[in-house]
Chains A and B, each alone.
Chain A
């Protein structure tokens, strides 16, 4: 796999995407380096989840122009599972309920299929158990939880915590957290943020999509971008998030309109 330090972790160039003939992403450019945390903010409906979905390979969206590269390799034509195998992880804004499939079996399958795709042997059962134990402890998830059907009947906060547990298990290169903070109470937010921070290494990168500065107090971003109507209209450091918290989006909309 390609991956020298010269290349970006993620490089998005002039990305346009539409759904049902309606253009939602209208020329996104974004570069994320290994070790960095980027935050993407923006009003409802501006295209944040769409961007995340398109990076993860959701086939409902049609990429009409532009490229997405991970460590110099283009992802555009890859299936969602292949992107996961390359190291892309999306924490869903709305995790899907899967009746009859336990969290544990789901994770075992996900990890072993990914290993298979990478030409590795299946993970030995005891190692898998150890890993599951470690990561569930990191996210303070009760063991009983792991034998429940995936997301079925989970509370909003439990679903989000479970997403980060999956991230911890998968150890992605690029993690995109789509409003992982929404629905979390203060204590849970700290646990989840702590989990994310503990998983950070100089080799991986994180994109955090959020509406609230609060999360960014815990997961401190190197860059903050504002997405408006399908375009990144402003980028800055972590202080930009504070400014947005204080002033809302109107001034940005005005700036963008100029």
Chain B
């Protein structure tokens, strides 16, 4: 039996573990049919031309963790931004870990998808938002079909959340072929403001595969800053599907820092549903050792007077591959759209590859859209200048890379997070720079 058939047939067993009378179950049932029809994406599809899942879609993959593994905080503390107070929603192999978490129901909901799917008080929210913006492709459908657990964040109107929310997904690799499928839902009310940091982290060198789906809804004047730290081990693969729906005057930003992992595919899609709003997509990617990082973005401008800003910096070395596939659609009604997209890439040696493809589809006539894509090498003159001041080659190279990525790092609004990312990058580059950005 191939993997697809196996997963489809596990759905029946899965049904024994959830409330099949909940309206969401209909959504799941539809999704499994959808997955059965669509299957996994292949390189024949235009949007998957440069990313092959072949090496990670092993037939033995299973969606059920056989046993629960518990972790001590001290062993995983390093993966938290522990320098700041925060809410925490933590999963181990897809299972909620209450002792590592700090959830809340006081004036807001920072809790679990499983709770949201079972408690009557959330039923309306779930009906209004669950799977309402997620695109119904094969992978997302697979996630929807088995959706059961993940982070559920509901920020009521007017609430400015003082503490960031950290979502951590640990995989232990205790079971070597677990497919983890977290399902997150973030609903941000009018004038509400929230900052979220999400990280997927495997704890052993066993191969892991995560297919995550996050839906984010920003209502009028809502502000959401979402940060993704992708610094996983060499054998961890991640497909991160993020769908964002924005209402009038809202501001949503997603920063993605891709440093680790074997294969990472980001499907980041923004759907603009009101006027005068803006969407920000930024990323820093630094890869080596045959890593593969794919950023496939979509900004769908459907209303007038909106903006989007995309700024991705990539540095690739040592047989690694980067993909930037940036799609901007401007509908006929979306006059006065201001769409900005930039993808700057540095290839550190000639074994690394970047495939960068901007795709602009503009149906309105009064718009300002710009896109720039550059692929270059490190500036030798700059390197010499730094070295002439006593900075060794490796450190000088790192400093230039920091300079290159600085625009993106700068816009991280949580200082301790910025510091942490700076450190992660420094350690990726094998340097110890004596300053904070």
Contact = CB atoms under 8 A, between A and B. Distances in A.
Interface of A: 56-59, 79-81, 83-85, 89-90, 92, 95-101, 104-106, 108-114, 117, 122, 149, 166, 170
B391 to A, nearest CB: 5
A118 B279 CA distance: 49
B434 A112 contact: yes
B404 interface: yes
Contacts of B406: 99-101
Interface stretch (B22-30, B263-271, B358-366, B378-386): B378-386
Nearest to B392: A81
Given A81-B391, A113-B392, A113-B395, A98 B434 contact: no
B368 interface: no
A114 B390 contact: yes
Contact of A100 (B386, B403, B433): B403
Nearest to A105: B435
Contacts, number: 91
Nearest to A110: B389
Given A83-B388, A170-B389, 8 more contacts: A79-B387, A80-B387, A81-B389, A100-B402, A101-B403, A104-B435, A106-B386, A114-B390
A76 B175 CA distance: 57
B402 A170 contact: no
A58 B387 CA distance: 10
A113 B391 contact: yes
B399 A109 contact: yes
Contacts of A79: 387, 392-393
Q: Is the interface of A mostly helix, strand, loop or mixed?
A: helix
B328 interface: no
A122 B389 contact: no
B71 interface: no
Q: Find the residue from B381, B384, B388, B395 having the highest chain A CB count within 10 A.
A: B388
Contacts of B281: none
A80 B388 contact: yes
Q: Find the residue from A98, A99, A104, A117 having the highest chain B CB count within 10 A.
A: A98
Contacts of A83: 388
Given A96-B382, A105-B435, A109-B433, A81 B387 contact: yes
Contact of A90 (B388, B396, B399, B403): B388
A159 to B, nearest CB: 11
Contacts of A89: 388
A109 B407 contact: no
A25 to B, nearest CB: 18
Contacts of B393: 79, 81
A229 B229 CA distance: 57
B419 to A, nearest CB: 13
B437 interface: yes
B391 A98 contact: no
Given A109-B434, A122-B434, A84 B387 contact: yes
Contacts of B388: 56-57, 80-81, 83-84, 89-90, 92
B402 A110 contact: no
Contacts of A109: 391, 395, 399, 433-435
Contacts of A104: 435
A106 B435 CA distance: 9
A183 B405 CA distance: 31
B133 interface: no
Contacts of B400: 98, 101
24 contacts: A57-B388, A58-B384, A80-B388, A81-B393, A84-B387, A85-B390, A92-B385, A96-B379, A96-B384, A96-B385, A98-B400, A100-B402, A100-B407, A101-B399, A101-B400, A101-B403, A104-B435, A105-B399, A106-B399, A109-B434, A110-B386, A113-B392, A114-B389, A117-B392
Nearest to A86: B390
A96 B392 contact: no
B432 to A, nearest CB: 9
